[in-house]
Structure 1
Amino acid sequence: MSWKTIFIKTDNSSAELLSEALLEQGALSVDIHDAAAGTDQEQPLYGEPGLPAGEVWEKAEVSGMFEPDTDINVVLQSITKTLQLPGVPVFRVETIEAQDWVRLTQSQFNPICISSRLWIVPTWHQPPNPSAINLILDPGLAFGTGSHPTTQLCLVWMDQNLKPGETVLDYGCGSGILAIAALKLGAGRVIGVDIDPHAVRAGHANALLNACEPSSCLFATQYPVQSDESGKTEQVDVVVANILSNPLIMLAPILASAVRARGRIVLSGILEPQAKEVMTVYGQWFEMQVHAAQEDWVLLSGVKKTVQ
């Protein structure tokens, strides 16, 4: 079986209306994304704190998936009439063939050796080294299988540098792999934060798979601000953020405020040409350095200054 997917270029004033119109015409699913993604005009929108709710890319593209026998011309004519457009919008149609997505995904991921004592093991495999620290992982709908260099850089850093009993915040936790790894490597308490509810659910599920103590492992869609009697926000010993350079720059004040004095920050998801800009921004609060690199990606680490 296959599906027809129509892609329509639009702007931020019409994207929501177009997506609703596609649903009314029988679309099985719709999506709004940046029409300039992958180019110099790509616009970073991540739904993080400080951005207007519901903000859409200036140059957007709306896609709708339909049953294979759908007459796309009829759909376009109906949308043009309903939205009172001056003419049929610019579009393209692609055919998506059905696949066994579960088997396809599983075939791409095998156990990964991070170090002599640390392995990542997908749930559909047996641990190659039962005596090692094995992170049993089912990514589900969340990012984070451990196969990407940015994740591996973070895992190696934690394996070599995390101290017993430290508190760790994994911001942009995805599947929860870094938060769970920190706990199994000796952290006293970990917090995984992700704006995607699917990621939070995946984190909870993976924590259960790894027999993590619930009181020591928390997942949430926003950083849980806890204040003591003086009104001060709780701070952690280590913040790990494996995202991308643009959101890392935008989140710098939030992540910096989460780290205690002389605490540490670990940043990944950064391409080598972007490292200097990220270091400059975080240098307001931290003594930063390039800690390691893998392929075209770098990992930055820093110690929070006592006086800023």
Structure 2
Amino acid sequence: MPWLELSLRCRAADEARVETALEDLGALSVSLMDAADAENEQAILEPGVGETPLWPEVTLLALFEHDTNEALLLHALEAYDDRIDLGSAQFREVADQDWERAWMDQYVPMQFGMRTWIIPWNMEAPTEAESGVIVRLDPGLAFGSGTHPTTSLCLAWLDSLPLAGKDVLDFGCGSGILALAALKLGAAHAVGVDNDPQALAASIDNAERNGVGERLRVFLPDDEPVAAYPVVVANILASALDALAETLAARVVTGGVIALSGILHGQEDALLERYAPWFERLEATQLDDWMRITGTRKA
């Protein structure tokens, strides 16, 4: 079934307000892209817990039912919030396979660290992956296929840990890729938290595909049970990591480890200082323009 996609440009400072309007008027999903570099189509699908856009100007891609009346939708947006600039509004029809499955046409099996392989659920595993840990993935409408540097950094970190028998928290789980990798690497249980129900549904579906469904629990942020874990990973964005510092620190047991990602190069120093009251051995690792911060919870 095809969908109707509306694209709108706005300033990053206005993104949350415009996204709220789109969702309240029936958008099934909202993706964010850098308006200055939209042709590369590197969207953030369904931003994670507390995420905000990275760029000064943002293009929002909102997906609606195919039979949505375009003129009425624009009129409703103007009535909802007359500050929204509709001059950039464009509509196009998006085929279902373009939105949810096109990544599989270009995706190849990828290795992270020494053991971990991420492979589309319908693709044969290469011979060299057979001795490793294979995660079968179908991200659906949730962000997280392993191709983005922030996800790659987190997967490599998880691959390096002794996870056997441990519980893991994946905060901002998206497709569940990090929680699933931890489980396949030996973790006893994993908890995924995300503010998007579609992300939780994708995580559950992917867990079942990988035979670990009974070991993964997922929650919206308001429903998350308060607990502390020996391993916590949060692949969100710098502003959210700053705002959630106390919450995330409280989720790590003494001596436990944390990985923070979704951080642009240049943003790491402020976050290293922000997390220093709770964590020691803080270290920043770079991949392309992105950073990962890791640390150990103090007593």
Fold shared, TM-score > 0.5 on shorter chain: yes
Greater displacement, 241-250 / 95-104: 95-104
Gaps of at least 5 residues in structure 2 are 37-46, 51-57
Q: 1:162 to 1:104 in 2, by over 3 A?
A: same
Q: Which amino acid aligns with 2:167?
A: T
- Of 254, 257, 271, which residue of structure 2 is paired with 1:278? 271
Q: 1:106 to 1:279 in 2, by over 3 A?
A: same
Q: 1:281 to 1:117 in 2, by over 3 A?
A: same
1:183 alignment counterpart? 183
Q: 1:140 to 1:5 in 2, by over 3 A?
A: closer
Q: 1:4 to 1:276 in 2, by over 3 A?
A: closer
Q: Matched residues in 2 for 1:193 and 1:69: separation?
A: 31
1:141 alignment counterpart? 141
Q: 1:291 to 1:142 in 2, by over 3 A?
A: same
Q: Work out whether residues 48 and 172 of structure 2, in 8 Å CA contact, stay in contact via their aligned partners in 1.
A: no
Q: As a proportion of its length, which structure holds more helix? A: 2
Q: Matched residues in 1 for 2:75 and 2:262: separation?
A: 43
Secondary structure of the 2:125 match is: coil
Deviation at 1:150, TM superposition (A): 1.0
Deviation at 1:94, TM superposition (A): 2.1
Q: Work out whether residues 32 and 60 of structure 2, in 8 Å CA contact, stay in contact via their aligned partners in 1.
A: yes
Q: 1:154 to 1:67 in 2, by over 3 A?
A: closer
Deviation at 1:292, TM superposition (A): 2.4
RMSD, aligned α-carbons: 4.2
Computing the radius of gyration over CA atoms, which structure comes out larger, 1 or 2? 1
Q: Which amino acid aligns with 1:94?
A: Q
Q: 1:71 to 1:155 in 2, by over 3 A?
A: closer
Q: Which amino acid aligns with 2:115?
A: R
Q: Matched residues in 2 for 1:182 and 1:84: separation?
A: 43
Map 1:203-282 → 2, pairs under 5 A: 203-212=203-212, 214=214, 216-222=215-221, 224-225=224-225, 234-282=227-275
Q: Matched residues in 1 for 2:211 and 2:81: separation?
A: 57
Q: 1:137 to 1:6 in 2, by over 3 A?
A: closer
Q: TM-score, normalised on structure 1?
A: 0.72
Q: 1:95 to 1:119 in 2, by over 3 A?
A: same
Q: Matched residues in 1 for 2:21 and 2:210: separation?
A: 43
Q: Work out whether residues 35 and 60 of structure 1, in 8 Å CA contact, stay in contact via their aligned partners in 2.
A: yes
Q: Which amino acid aligns with 1:239?
A: V
Q: Deviations over 1:69-98 (max 9, x none)?
A: 9784x8867987x7897xx97523424254
1:198 alignment counterpart? 198
Q: Deviations over 1:111-134 (max 9, x none)?
A: 111144221011121111333210
Secondary structure of the 1:131 match is: coil
Q: Which amino acid aligns with 2:207?
A: A
1:41 alignment counterpart? none
Q: 1:116 to 1:286 in 2, by over 3 A?
A: closer
Q: Matched residues in 1 for 2:165 and 2:228: separation?
A: 14
Q: Work out whether residues 290 and 298 of structure 1, in 8 Å CA contact, stay in contact via their aligned partners in 2.
A: no
- Of 86, 104, 116, which residue of structure 1 is paired with 2:102? 104
Q: Deviations over 1:210-244 (max 9, x none)?
A: 11151x32111136325xxxxxxx31101111111
Q: 1:7 to 1:213 in 2, by over 3 A?
A: closer
Q: Work out whether residues 279 and 297 of structure 2, in 8 Å CA contact, stay in contact via their aligned partners in 1.
A: yes
Q: Is the aligned partner of 1:294 residue 2:287?
A: yes
2:169 alignment counterpart? 169
1:123 alignment counterpart? 121
Q: TM-score, normalised on structure 2?
A: 0.74
Larger relative contact order (CA 8 Å, sep ≥ 6):
2
Deviation at 1:163, TM superposition (A): 3.4
Q: Work out whether residues 32 and 60 of structure 1, in 8 Å CA contact, stay in contact via their aligned partners in 2.
A: no
Secondary structure of the 2:286 match is: strand
Deviation at 1:296, TM superposition (A): 1.2
Q: Matched residues in 2 for 1:191 and 1:20: separation?
A: 27
Q: How many residues align?
A: 273
Secondary structure of the 1:145 match is: coil
